[in-house]
Chain A
Amino acid sequence: MSPAVDLAECVERLLHGFTTYDRAVDVVSAFEMAFTTSRSQVPGTVRHFERFPRVPGPDDTTLTPDFTVVFEDGTGLAGEIARLALHENSAEGLCRQIAKYDALRQLPDASGLTQVSQTDVLLLVPQSVGVAAVKRIVVDRFANPEHPYKPSVAPCVVQFAFDEDRYIFQRLLDPRNGVLRDGNRADGLGRWFEENGDFKARPSRFSDIKSARAFINDPVDPLYLATHLWAKTFPTMAGDSPRPVRLEVRSSDLAAELRERFGGVLASDVDRALDLLKTAKLADQTADGWVIAWEELRVPGEKDLAHALATRACRPPSRSASSRLEAAAQAEAARPTPPPSLF
């Protein structure tokens, strides 16, 4: 394989993770809109929507569904975006994961954790694997007496797609597919799917939510977070200081700031993103943390920062971030003192 093909594949792989993560951010944002800001009766039934849930699971584990909802009637819901691969281990792992969600009797609310009488599991899958997900999760496992996956009720599998100018969320019609139990609530997504089969969400309905909470509860894709850091976080820190700007950060501090401002980011996410920037020769790891040489990134022929970062990470330049900072500092020191006044 030629270096050019290697480079193209490497960039494509990084961008695929970026795009997949962004689509998941959209999906969670659409459900946050449906549950919290839509002009329906649903937001009135919701006591708390949690975009970044961390819930104690069995054996001292921590469970992290993509979002959870606690309703005013004391019931709950856990949403999970599933990336179902072809191999059987993928379905087995997913069943083990969502079985734990079904068993949850505590979910996050505004003050911590609260008791819930039941937790419905909403399994969100891309349209390309929607039918297969029902077959492999619900039919082959939940409905199979021989299989150990036996949650209290079947998960509700909903497929999503982007059609023209809106997302469509469609409950798979197989009678064995689970339902969302609305109980006596004034309205609910269970009723939406029962009445209409689907609901739709234009991006204009949730763009404010996506802008405010840029991440979801999954590990953040490294290129996605590196792009966010370079396009938003570092410039906010740098202001109009002379370029390149030397930024010294600790991943735990940076993660705390990102959680404060956007939610959901862990130090491990930041480390992975900074590691990508290190590969791209834009950051260096030190004994105390990280040093970043931040400035406008110019890659010939490439205007999009995400592509530019991916290209640099796949084909790094020779100079490290530290050497660029040192060169800039030397150039600054060598600059003659300007005259006191031009005129």
Chain B
Amino acid sequence: MTATPTSMQRPFDDALWSAAEQGQTPESLRDLVHGTFRGEREDQLTVATVIADGCEPGERLAQAGAGAVSGFRMAGPIAVLRVGEAENAYTVSVWPTAEEGVYHLIGTVPVTDERWRRVERWLANSAPRLVPFVLNQADFEGVGAALAEHGRVEVSRLTARVLSDGSSYTRGWAEGRRAPRPTYTQALGEVEEFASVRTLTVHVGDLLSLHLRRHAGATFYGGSFRLFEDVVLTALVGAAERRRVLLTGRERRPHERQEHAIAVQMPTGIFANAESVSDLLEALSEQRGVGIAVLHRNPYLHVAVTDYLDGSNFDAFVTFDDRVLIYPGYRASVGALTRLTEHLAERFAAREVADVQASTPPTRDELFTTG
């Protein structure tokens, strides 16, 4: 048992930890934010939306971060981790959502801060029981459309990955009189030909400022937390639930034909050359506890992928230059499938992870011509 700590830097953290120590459940996330955010520059709430596969995510995360986690309490259904000591301590909390198996990891440290990077490492070490995911392009665009119903949505900063070489691309627009900042749609349109957007800093008139990430998450900077919660967090939960449903119960069963497979849809031509296939093999095998067996290579690729952490296994095929097709094996957990698709989506700037027909049988004419 740890002693009652010195106050933490952020009132949000203090209030949440205090409630947790007393075994109280905060009325709501919104109330907690309203009660503790003072409109200061440092007031921000970092959210990462994750999928849990048969585990208690708070405990899992606390185990993964055991060396740095100085306290762990349950505030009702919310798991609260106290990280670090004294005035440098901060909280990371795990909030259940309206969807079973979908949680928000919430903290007050910036997403780019080493203190949050550390949380991301714990998350990686909690796989495949607790996993992040990457939003489909349509989900990402949908957030902008939903926000636009409440005001002009402007972008002040965009980061992206250049499709041709994987390099980083950053663009910023200062708030000035010469020209208005681009709208959400204009900002996405500006790079769609050559890059995949990873993050956007967005302003909805004077109502809301936030940072939205393809690696499912967002940061509330200020304004209406209600709008942030109702539009952004709701969208993240909806996308997570669709992904969880898509990847649940996909294991093969004897004598049952797999009518559908899982496609990670990439930008056109991304696997058009041998080097990119090598990159794919490298990417498949670089995750902790994941191994590959190459059954066929050049020019089409057939790889058996094994998740050695929970025994899940998959066949992955590249038969088109813009898609990895995954056929789950006889053990295929939602966690293992989520982290496999998340990793490929992140590494190759996938547009979407989707359910597709398991095969595309050819017509007679196709058999005679293209195959």
CB pair A342–B66 under 8 Å, yes or no, is yes
CB pair A37–B306 under 8 Å, yes or no, is no
Within residues 197 to 232 of chain A, which ones have a CB less than 8 A from any CB in chain B? 199-212, 227-228, 230-232
CB pair A204–B319 under 8 Å, yes or no, is yes
Which of A39, A210, A227, A307 touches B364 (beta carbons < 8 Å)? A39
CB pair A209–B2 under 8 Å, yes or no, is no
Cα–Cα, bound, A201→B309 (Å): 36
A42 → chain B closest CB, angstroms = 8
B286 → chain A closest CB, angstroms = 9
Q: Which residues of B contact A109 (CB under 8 A)?
A: none
Q: Which residues of A contact B364 (CB under 8 A)?
A: 38-41, 187, 192
CB pair B296–A236 under 8 Å, yes or no, is no
B261 within 8 A of A: yes
Which of A208, A227, A343 touches B358 (beta carbons < 8 Å)? A208
B162 within 8 A of A: no
Q: Is the interface of B mostly helix, strand, loop or mixed?
A: mixed
CB pair A200–B291 under 8 Å, yes or no, is no
A127 → chain B closest CB, angstroms = 16
Q: Residues of B within 8 Å of A, CB-based: how many?
A: 58
Q: How large is the interface on A (under 10, 10 to 19, 20 to 34, 35 or more residues)?
A: 35 or more
Cα–Cα, bound, A119→B330 (Å): 37
Kindly specify which of B42-50, B101-109, B234-242, B310-318 makes contact with the partner chain: B310-318
A165 within 8 A of B: yes
Output the nearest chain B residue to A243 by Cβ-Cβ distance. B308
Given contacts A40-B364, A342-B62, A343-B2, contact A200 B330 (CB under 8 A): no
B299 within 8 A of A: yes
CB pair A296–B308 under 8 Å, yes or no, is yes
Q: Which residues of B contact A330 (CB under 8 A)?
A: none
A161 → chain B closest CB, angstroms = 12
B294 within 8 A of A: yes
A239 within 8 A of B: yes
B4 within 8 A of A: no
Cα–Cα, bound, A201→B367 (Å): 6
Given contacts A164-B299, A304-B293, contact A202 B311 (CB under 8 A): no
Given contacts A192-B367, A260-B254, A343-B1, contact A203 B308 (CB under 8 A): no
Cα–Cα, bound, A203→B319 (Å): 6
Q: Which residues of B contact A296 (CB under 8 A)?
A: 289, 291, 308
Q: Which residues of A contact B261 (CB under 8 A)?
A: 208
Within residues 166 to 208 of chain A, which ones have a CB less than 8 A from any CB in chain B? 166-168, 187, 192, 195-196, 199-208
Given contacts A231-B313, A236-B311, contact A199 B289 (CB under 8 A): no
Cα–Cα, bound, A184→B371 (Å): 26
Report B247-266 CB contacts with A as 1/0, cut-off 8 Å: 00000101001100100000
Within residues 67 to 91 of chain B, which ones have a CB less than 8 A from any CB in chain A? 69, 71-73
Output the nearest chain A residue to B328 by Cβ-Cβ distance. A211
A308 → chain B closest CB, angstroms = 9
CB pair B309–A240 under 8 Å, yes or no, is yes
A91 within 8 A of B: no
B176 within 8 A of A: no
Report B324-346 CB contacts with A as 1/0, cut-off 8 Å: 01010111000000000000000
CB pair B361–A39 under 8 Å, yes or no, is yes
CB pair A303–B371 under 8 Å, yes or no, is no
Output the nearest chain B residue to A195 by Cβ-Cβ distance. B368
Given contacts A165-B299, A239-B331, contact A231 B293 (CB under 8 A): yes
Chain B CB within 10 Å, residue with most, of A165, A167, A238, A295: A165
Cα–Cα, bound, A268→B147 (Å): 64
Report B341-361 CB contacts with A as 1/0, cut-off 8 Å: 000000000000000001111
Output the nearest chain B residue to A199 by Cβ-Cβ distance. B367
CB pair B359–A208 under 8 Å, yes or no, is yes
Which of B66, B289, B327 touches A208 (beta carbons < 8 Å)? B327
Which of B252, B285, B360, B370 touches A166 (beta carbons < 8 Å)? B370
A33 within 8 A of B: yes
Within residues 287 to 304 of chain A, which ones have a CB less than 8 A from any CB in chain B? 295-297, 303-304
Q: Which 4 pairs show the lowest CB-CB distances between chains A and B?
A: A200-B371, A166-B371, A305-B293, A204-B319
Which residues of A are in contact with B by a Cβ distance under 8 Å? 22, 26, 33-34, 37-41, 164-168, 187, 192, 195-196, 199-212, 227-228, 230-232, 235-240, 243, 260-261, 295-297, 303-307, 342-343
Seed contacts A168-B371, A200-B368; 6 additional CB < 8 Å A-B pairs: A38-B367, A40-B364, A210-B302, A235-B307, A236-B311, A240-B309
A-B CB contact pairs (8 Å), 10 listed: A165-B300, A201-B371, A207-B359, A227-B304, A231-B305, A236-B331, A239-B311, A296-B308, A303-B285, A305-B292
